[in-house]
Chain A
Amino acid sequence: MTATQRKPQKVWKTNNWVDLFLTAIRIGAMAFIGVGLLAFVLEQAGGEGLTGGAIRGLFVTGISQGAMYGLIALGYSMVYGVLGFINFAHGEVFMAGAMSGWITSTILFENGMWEGEAKFVLALLIVLVIAVIVSTLATILIERVAYRPLRESPRLIPLITSIGVSFFMQNAVLGLFGPASKTLPAPPPWMSAEYTFLRIEGTKILVLVIAAVSMAGLWVFVERTKTGKAMRAVAEDKEIAALMGIDVNRTIVTTFAVGGAMAGVAGVLWGLLFRGVSALTGFLPGIKAFTAAVIGGVGNLGGSMAGGLLLGLVESVAPLVILKPLGIPAVSQLKDAVAFAVLVLILLFKPTGLFGERLAAEDRA
């Protein structure tokens, strides 16, 4: 009796030290952000800070990039939901979409489709559809060739495999198209004009609209259709899903396909935002989207979208609003570091991500 009473107390004590340490870090981090924000406000008040336009620009850039991260993050989250491993090749599926976007837009540009209003919108739709097809096929192929044979193995095995697939795809594209960055044709001039009272650039409006429509479409698909219901059932309990008569394999393929389609859309958005595409394009956005998924709570679709938006926003705003006023030089170089610092910060406060649920031990990869 006494032994069983002493033990939990001991555990409680060590936990307490860890808790204390974590609390100290949490307070430190909050203080750092607070001081940064204060310095920023003082700078603004002193009239030597950013102009209103510049701040607005940061937000718009952040949200549009964040929407793109969110779209990619969905793929990580969905696959994690059904198979319990992180598909690191997903960044390359996104890259495949971006590459196909470059190819189709170049062809359409050469045929005079990349100008005027109606023509450009039609051309963009074609680019989108083809990118979605390419990414979807790529991801279905990867699932069939690389992951399905490993369905019964421990989850670390497909995880490592996905890293292998990722390298394979990078190198395949490198071999096929060379290392140089490809440039997409510039959108027609009316696209770079600023619209609405917020004076948002046309391309960014386009990016936001496409992302919003895709996300809404995905939401309807997952929440309102029979296949979506089957998908959520498979994510939760494959054996019982099969007992309901659901074809588990087909549902898993559908999950990959839908995630791939979202990555394809994101690839086109990348092209619109940055216009440069190469074999290595998938790497950093892929990792960041994964980060976004973790921030939102992996497996939670709404969380992944929100995580993406948050990450894009902070990555764009924080360097100039928090870091620069603290006197840190060359802040725009710190964009990527900020992105991952956000991850650490959020996990410090909420270890399961913003909207995540605590996973049972057997659910963890």
Chain B
Amino acid sequence: MLRIDGITAGYGAVTVLRDLSFQAAPGQVTCIMGRNGAGKSTLMKAIMGLVPVQSGQILLNGQPIHTLPAHQIPKRGIAYVPQGRRLFGPLTVAENIEIGLMARNTGPDRREFVLTLFPRLRERLDQVASTLSGGEQQMLAIARALCLDPAVLLLDEPTEGLQPSMIGLIRDVVLRLRDAGLATVLVEQRVDAVLRMADRVAFMAHGRVEAEVQRAELAPESSLFQRFVGV
């Protein structure tokens, strides 16, 4: 369980997140929606220790993680796939996966698990990552994060710029991971994707979670989408 209690965070003198509280439970996909500048990506970075938390706390299974150096947080069981994928371009698919496996000393079973989730990557193990298609790069970014065997997975707009078939593939993987008990936090702007994947939706504005609802309470035409996303 990832729990965020009233954090305030930002870049230097600029405060982006204000008294923000939020939680992500195992076996659930929690989607975060909000307009540009609402603080969605900053929230992800604050969880990962990339943006300093000025007050409040972030707890993973009851243990504070906001005081840890950033490189220690993945080792506690949180994996992050940032917007824009950020692969190690000159390395092959196999090497990118290997780097993920080495980081937390996860072994061949984990490698087999991610390659079973993404069979297309198995066909391209020797291909240099920068030459993959956008969708394949996103698969590799998620696969590499899953090599850490995380308890919590943070995905920042994973379907951005992808063709519909790829979006469907990634959606299926997210749902399989949910069924396997992973707590997933998904920043997403596409209403249809949110409605298909989310168990809960948190709407952000001005650095706060302003509304939080169960998926079952949301209809495609909900006024919350209009109010917080503008669609």
The reply to whether chain A is a binding partner of chain B is: no
**Chain B interfacial positions (CB closer than 8 Å to A):** none
**Chain A interfacial positions (CB closer than 8 Å to B):** none
